[in-house]
Amino acid sequence: MSNKENGPDNISSELHYIDSLIQRYRSDTHLAESLSRLKSNLSGKRAKLSKKNQFDLFDNSPYGIFILDENGKYLDINKVAVSQLGYSKNELLRLNVKDVMALSGPGQSAATFNELKKKKSTGVEILFRNRNGDEFFMSVKIIKITDKIFVAYTEDIDRQKAIELALVESETKNKALSEVANEAIFFTEKGYIVECNEAASKILGYDRDEIIGKFGTVFSAPETLDVLRNNMMSGYDKPYEATVVRKDGSRIPVEIEGKMYRYKGQDVRVAIVRDLSFQKRAEKELKEKEEKLKLFADHTNDLVWTIDRNLNYTYISPSVIRLLGYTSDAFIGKHVTFLLTEDSKKIIFETLRKIADNVDEKSGFHASAKLEVDFVHRNNSIITFEVQANALFTESKEIEFFTGVSRDITQRKKNDEKLQQAADILNNIGSGIYLYHLENIEDDRTLRLIAANPSSTSITGLEIQDILGKTIDECFPSFRKLGLVKKYAEVIRTRQPATFDSVEYYDKKTGNLHLSLKAFPLPNNCIGISFENISKLIKTQKELQDRNSELNHFVYKVSHDLRAPLASVKGLLNLAKYGNDSELYLSKIEDSIDKLDHFIRNVLSHSRNLNTTPIVDDIDFEVIINQCFTELNYLSGIEALEKEIHISSGKFHNDSVRIFEIFRNIISNAIKYQDKEKETSIIQINIRIKPNEAKIEIKDNGIGIEKNHLGHVFSMFYRATEISDGSGIGLYIVYQAIKKLNGQINITSAYGEGTTFKIVLPNLIAS
């Protein structure tokens, strides 16, 4: 290329031609820029392309650019072209395009270059091989600058092809994602909607076909139309708010965020539209709540406050002037310890330390605490507050701020102390205490237990936790039958206390109880019931009555049974003075004395049984039984009674004197009440000794006891048969002795067949 070939006469026509090329390729920014620079260079004073001008023209281009003559010889090459082929610039400048194509791959030749010149820069894809032997596709465009100068414009499209494949896959995925997205997605080209997802139809209320083809602003509310239009046309890419009108005419607030993208070979604007209806409602509700909270804080009786990260007050409600005597302004900017007592300051810092130790990501960096602190009132009095504090921390566990509510509990603390004193007194009272509340003043079925003291459990056997909160009918079903429920309700209604001296109550745990009750009215339709267990007193009274009755009977019986033998002896002595048969009289006198001795012995045994505690010693049943028969040897008929005695082995411990009296009286009856009509009179004694008890069975085949007498045989001085000449105290002594030993006795008898006693006695020192 010479100066002559590019002289001044040709420069004007070439410049005109370059202008037409710039207009044709104005959409290709880089190529248009290159052409403009070439035009500028050609307009200079120097006609030929210098090395410096070539560098300025091409080296900053992102594409490979080759300057060629009409024969394909390289005149200049930029850096990108050098890097594409892998040869140095000097090596390529010594080569012809035919040589490079031959090196690049099979079938490449000068013909290819000639074909490219004929295509008038439409471009083709050619497989090249670089100096390292790596093959890659290159897009090549040949632009005719003059008849003598051509520009080859190349681009490595291997990466572009991979990108195109990825884009196809990406478009498929993006379409699927856009269809399931909650936000509406719109694709617009020159303002017209060319695509949208399912969420767009849901937000606008139109079918997809009704949306496609519409101008993007057609769905805008009038007040946001200009904003929407301006942002669309200017390519504004920041989020902004607008209002859209749905198909049904309803209006919804939305947030729109748009960006320009290359979509299906076209420059389109993608807009994401989010429905803000829920958010706006939430914001409105939050604002209303904040206003209400402020209204509450400004008028509440409690202290509402906030504290910053430096533990200084930033807000405190106006109630502080009533509670502490200071205005809100006096607290703002003051430290949290302002007006706290020294002990409360320690509590505050200890609480803060514990809160900080327990704050982590799981807690959402939020913590709360409940504590009691004392403030010094302006008048120097101490005011106690119950504080509910909430703390928010940063992720680095630094305090963000505190907020909370403080409630004056000074009076409540005093009341609690009084209540505690009352509770201590209540819990230490020996009497049972129940507190009831009549929920409906007209309905005594709503009388419900609200409190009880420990002594009530020891008396009734009912655990407090089992009956607390229950109605009186659920706690004490029998009280309604006794009329107590109605009477309790009357005490509440009339405000008049009442006393119930003795109420019999039955419970499965405690059995029969006798209670003395006092009912007294309390405020708020409540009633207090104090009660004591008088079962022992009732029992003692009954025993005393029984003892008095027995004593009266005993005095009469003793006077009678003592005088009768003495009178008999006195009569026999008078007869002996005048009679001759002295031995007969002496024998009868002896019988009377024996009866008197037996009676006196029984009386002494009864007295001993009542007034002495058991004396435990080793028991030898065989020795006791033999001693009984020996002592009763004076009784008539003893020689005719056959004995069958069986005693198991084993150690047994009990009161030997009382056991002797039990056996002596039962054996005595077996001797006295033999059935004379039977050929043989038998007494069977079977004793089975166990580790914890002894089971005794004494059976005879005597005259027996009629059924109507069986229930009375253990009563004092009761005689079950007319033929008896005894005192009737023997079986009474047996029963009392067994009772004293905590044993059991059972009698069965059939008149004319015999009698059986079954006795169980405890082993007082179990082996």
Give pLDDT, residue 6. 43
| pLDDT of 427 | 73
* 238: three-class secondary structure by DSSP: coil
Query: 456, 498, 504, 453: which is closest to 478 by C-alpha?
Result: 504
What does the pLDDT look like over 217-246, one tens digit per residue? 899 999 999 998 898 888 888 999 999 999
Distance CA 246, CA 250 (A): 5
Per-residue pLDDT tens over the stretch 390-410: 888 777 777 788 888 999 999
pLDDT for the residue 368: 83
pLDDT at 619: 92
The answer to whether the CB of 378 falls within 8 A of the CB of 411 is no
CA gap 173, 177 in Å, rounded: 6
Q: Which amino acid is at 247?
A: K
Same domain for 138 and 205, yes or no, is no
Q: Which of 159-168, 278-287, 426-435 has the lowest mean pLDDT?
A: 159-168
Q: What per-residue confidence (pLDDT) applies to 17?
A: 56
**DSSP secondary structure string for all residues of 701-759:** -SS---GGGGGGTTSTT--S-TT--S-S-HHHHHHHHHHHTT-EEEEEEETTTEEEEEE
Q: Which residues pair with 386 in a beta bridge?
A: 372, 407
Residue 588: inside a domain: no
Judge whether residue 191 has pLDDT over 90: no
Q: Which of 475, 506, 538 is the last residue of a domain?
A: 538
CB 154 within 8 A of CB 237: no
Residue 213 is assigned to a structural domain of this protein = yes
Q: Residue 476: pLDDT above 90?
A: no
pTM above 0.75, yes or no: no
pLDDT band of residue 330 (cuts 50, 70, 90) is very high
Segment 347-366 mean pLDDT: 76
Residue 695 in tokens: 């089971």
CATH number, domain with residue 659: 3.30.565.10
Hey, is 248 helix, strand or coil? Answer: coil
Bridge partner list, 13: none
Per-residue pLDDT of 530-542, as tens digits, reads 888 887 777 777 7
> Given this model, what pLDDT does residue 53 score?
45
* Res 110 pLDDT > 60: no
Once rounded to an integer, what is the mean pLDDT over residues 295-324?
84
pLDDT at 325: 93
Q: How many helices (H) and strands (E) does the chain have?
A: 25, 27
Distance CA 40, CA 30 (A): 15
Within a domain: 391: yes
Query: Given pLDDT bands bounded at 50, 70 and 90, which one contains residue 18?
Result: low
435 & 505 share domain: yes
279 Cβ partners below 8 Å, 6+ apart? none
Q: Do both 374 and 268 map to the same domain?
A: no
| Domain containing residue 695 | 613-762
Residue 66 lies in a domain: yes
> Which amino acid does the sequence have at 69?
D
The pLDDT tens digits of the residues spanning 144-168 come to 777 778 887 787 776 566 555 545 5
How does pLDDT run across 65-100, given as a tens digit for each residue?
A: 888 787 878 888 888 878 877 888 888 788 777 777
Q: Are 562 and 599 in contact, with CB atoms under 8 Å apart? A: yes
Mean pLDDT of 467-479: 89
DSSP letters, 618-687, are E--HHHHHHHHHHHTTTSTTGGGEEEEEEE-----EE-HHHHHHHHHHHHHHHHHT--TTSS-EEEEEEE
- 616: which DSSP letter? -
For residues 288 and 374, membership in a common domain is answered with: yes
* Domain final residue, candidates 254, 275, 296: 275
Give the least confident one: 85-89, 101-105, 122-126, 648-652: 101-105
Q: Is 418 exposed, middle or buried (0-12, 13-18, 19+ CB in 10 A)?
A: exposed
Per-residue buried b or exposed e for 235-265, using 16+ beta carbons within 10 Å of the residue's own CB: ebeeeeebbbbeeeeeebbbebbbeeeebee
- Looking at the structure, tell me whether residues 336 and 405 fall in a common domain: yes
Mean pLDDT computed over 544-562: 60
Q: Give domain status of residue 459, yes or no.
A: yes
Task: Report yes or no on 60 lying in a domain.
Answer: yes
Shared domain check, 485 and 458: yes
Residue 423 falls inside a structural domain: no
Provide the CA 5 distance to its chain's centre, in angstroms. Answer: 98
Contacts 24+ apart (CB under 8 A), 424-431: 426/453, 427/453, 427/454, 427/455, 429/453, 429/455, 429/530, 430/455, 430/532, 431/455, 431/530, 431/531, 431/532
pLDDT tops 50 at residue 303: yes
Distance CA 441, CA 524 (A): 10
Structure tokens at 502: 């003795």
Spatial CB neighbours of 535, under 8 Å, sequence gap ≥ 6? 512, 513, 514
Nearby residues of 143 by Cβ (< 8 Å), 6 or more positions away: 21, 31, 121, 150, 151, 152, 153
CA dihedral for 485, 486, 489, 491, sign (positive or negative): negative
**Pure H helices in 311-359:** 320-324, 342-357
- Give residue-wise pLDDT tens across range 656-665: 888 988 998 8
Residues 308, 407 within the same domain: yes
Share of the chain above pLDDT 70, in %: 71
Residue 193, in any domain of the structure: yes
pLDDT at position 356 over 80: no
Domain of residue 256, CATH code? 3.30.450.20
Percent of the chain with pLDDT over 90: 26
**pLDDT reported for residue 125:** 73
Lowest mean pLDDT, pick from 212-216, 286-290, 500-504: 286-290
Task: State the average pLDDT over residues 423-435.
Answer: 78
612: nearest Cα among 571, 570, 647, 658: 658
Partners of 420 in the beta sheet?
Answer: none
Count of residues in the chain: 767
Q: Degrees (nearest 5) of the Cα angle 424, 425, 427?
A: 65
Are residues 148 and 249 located together in one domain of the fold? Answer: no
At 385 the pLDDT is: 94
Q: Are residues 309 and 264 in the same domain?
A: no
Average pLDDT (15-24) is 60
What's residue 22's pLDDT? 61
- Count of domains forming the chain: 5
Shared domain check, 212 and 325? no
Would you place residue 207 in the very low, low, confident or very high pLDDT band (cuts 50, 70, 90)?
very high
Whole-number Å distance between alpha carbons of 67 and 97: 11
The predicted pLDDT at position 762 comes to 94
Per-residue confidence (pLDDT) for residue 721, from 0 to 100: 63
- From CA 441, how far away is CA 357, in angstroms rounded? 53
Contacts of 1 (CB under 8 A, 6+ apart): 48, 49, 69, 75, 148, 149
- Which region among 266-275, 336-345, 667-676 has the lowest average model confidence (pLDDT)? 266-275
Distances, alpha carbon 115 to alpha carbons 69, 91, 92, 122, 124, in Å: 15, 25, 21, 11, 10
Last residue within a domain, chosen from 501, 520, 538: 538
Report the distance separating Cα 461 and Cα 515, nearest Å: 13
> Are 186 and 291 members of one domain?
no
Task: Quick: pLDDT tens for 21-65.
Answer: 666 556 555 556 666 666 666 555 334 444 444 444 456 677 788
Map 388-436 to HEC letters.
Answer: EEEEEECCCCCEEEEEEEEEECHHHHHHHHHHHHHHHHHHHCCCEEEEE
Domain match, 167 and 227 both: yes
> Whole-number mean pLDDT of the chain?
79
Q: What's the pLDDT score for residue 121?
A: 47
